[in-house]
Amino acid sequence: MRILLTADPELPVPPKLYGGIERVIDLLVREFVAAGHEVALLAHPESTSAASVSYSWPTQNSQDARPNAKALSQAAKAFQPDIVHSFSRLLWLLPLLGESYPKVMSYQREPTGRTVRLSNWLHRGRLHFTGCSEYICGNGRARGGGDWTAIHNAVDASAYQCQAQVSDDAPLVFLSRIEPIKGCHNAIEIAKRSGRRLIIAGNHFEEGEFGDYWRQKILPEIGMNRIEHVGPVNDLQKNELLGQAAAMVVPIEWNEPFGIVFAEALACGTPVISSPRGALPEIIEQGRHGFLINSIEEGVAAIKQMETIDRTECRRRFEQAFSSYVIAAQYLSLYGRLIKG
């Protein structure tokens, strides 16, 4: 197959630092090329992905619809794809309306029903939607209709090693952005009531309401009751941090579209304690790969049951559901079905 992928223009593929979906796209490119397909990537000009052919957006701003839509049209004419898969903006597919090959639009967040309905009508059945979870797809079907397929985000299995055992005094880890919806304050309270050490890793904000949250809710706890903050971590540090943890505790307070960090924890064999919101029930089977809790008290009870979780089973869950090879195969299967259709 000849596959044209697009990424948002702000960050290169793969990203130099943070960039979750850009990492996923890079993994897909590598898997598709390894499987013998011709892959073109339209992305930030500093991208170093292993695509067969690379094209660059003329601007690095997703608000610049007209020049970027034109760039996509030009890339498609030059590459002559069998299928176009956009991880960028739905509007930019408009110049391809008259093309007979199928188009795929992927969502990492809850879609707007009006734009989905309109695009579905304009493309006359030649546009298929995917979401990074069934939660996202369900919202898409309910709000805008169309054909949706849930395909989770991928993680590089080689970047994370499973730690089958950890020490009896292994710490808990909170790994995410430090903002209210991620539930860092809940993780702190669970750790304090459990008498467990907690390592907090992730970015925090200095300004605005998130800055107030950091200064008022989190910072006063650092250095008290064995609560530590190590700041942002890179991939190597993440592998080590999660691998040594008794559990990753991220009790979210919003409907998480997916959350790559949860799959990364499972890749290290680390059970997850979170909330049954958004895509989490699709990632974590209760009592098998961790616990989905609805209160601080349930979180404390989950900590006491962590020894019942088989860490090798957590890794097995990751390999079967979220490894890049598995996710790439799901996309290739979808492409083949759409092209034949």
Quickly tell me which residue has 């989190």 as its tokens. Answer: 218
Question: Is it the case that residue 5 has pLDDT exceeding 80?
Answer: yes
For residue 177, what pLDDT band results from cuts at 50, 70 and 90?
Answer: very high
Question: Is it the case that residue 210 has pLDDT exceeding 80?
Answer: yes
For residue 209, what pLDDT band results from cuts at 50, 70 and 90?
Answer: very high
DSSP-based three-state secondary structure for 294:
coil
Question: Is it the case that residue 27 has pLDDT exceeding 70?
Answer: yes
At residue 19, the pLDDT reads 66
At residue 333, the pLDDT reads 98
**Environment class of 323 (CB within 10 Å of its CB; exposed 0-12, middle 13-18, buried 19+):** buried
pLDDT per residue as tens digits for the range 229-245 = 999 998 889 999 999 99
Q: How far is CA 83 from the centre of its chain?
A: 23
At residue 319, the pLDDT reads 97
For residue 16, what pLDDT band results from cuts at 50, 70 and 90?
Answer: confident
DSSP category for residue 95 = G
At residue 87, the pLDDT reads 96
pLDDT per residue as tens digits for the range 241-284 = 999 999 999 999 999 999 999 999 999 999 999 999 999 999 99
Nearest CA to 234 among 24, 19, 28? Answer: 19
User: Per DSSP, which regions of 126-165 are E strands?
Assistant: 127-131, 148-150
Query: Residue range 326-338: average pLDDT?
Result: 98
For residue 114, what pLDDT band results from cuts at 50, 70 and 90?
Answer: confident
**Environment class of 341 (CB within 10 Å of its CB; exposed 0-12, middle 13-18, buried 19+):** exposed
One-letter amino acid for residue 325 of the chain: Y
Count CA atoms within 13 Å of residue 130 on its CB side. 23
Instruction: Give percent of the chain above pLDDT 70.
Output: 99
At residue 63, the pLDDT reads 87
More confident residue, 124 or 169: 169
Strands 172-175, 53-56: pairing kind: unpaired
Query: Residue range 312-335: average pLDDT?
Result: 98
Alpha-carbon gap, residue 20 to 329, rounded angstroms:
20
Mean pLDDT of all residues in the chain?
Answer: 95
At residue 62, the pLDDT reads 86
Query: Residue range 144-166: average pLDDT?
Result: 95
Look up the CATH architecture of domain 157-321. 3-Layer(aba) Sandwich (3.40)
Q: Where in the chain is the domain with CATH 3.40.50.2000?
A: 2-154+323-340, 157-321
- The torsion angles phi and psi of 72, rounded to 5 degrees, stand at -65, -40
**pTM for the model:** 0.94
H or E stretch including 336?
Answer: helix 324-340
For residue 115, what pLDDT band results from cuts at 50, 70 and 90?
Answer: confident
Look up the CATH architecture of domain 2-154+323-340. 3-Layer(aba) Sandwich (3.40)
- 12-29: burial string, b at 16+ Cβ within 10 Å, e else: bbbbeeebbbbbbbbbbb
- What is the DSSP annotation of 195-221? T--EEEES---SSHHHHHHIIIIIGGG
Q: Alpha helices of 123-160 — where are they, by DSSP H? A: 134-144
One-letter amino acid for residue 194 of the chain: S
At residue 28, the pLDDT reads 98
- The torsion angles phi and psi of 206, rounded to 5 degrees, stand at -100, -25
Question: Is it the case that residue 17 has pLDDT exceeding 70?
Answer: no
Query: Residue range 29-58: average pLDDT?
Result: 97
The Cα angle at residue 197 between residues 188 and 231, in degrees rounded to 5: 70
H or E stretch including 230?
Answer: strand 227-231
Poorest-confidence range of 69-73, 112-116, 132-136?
A: 112-116
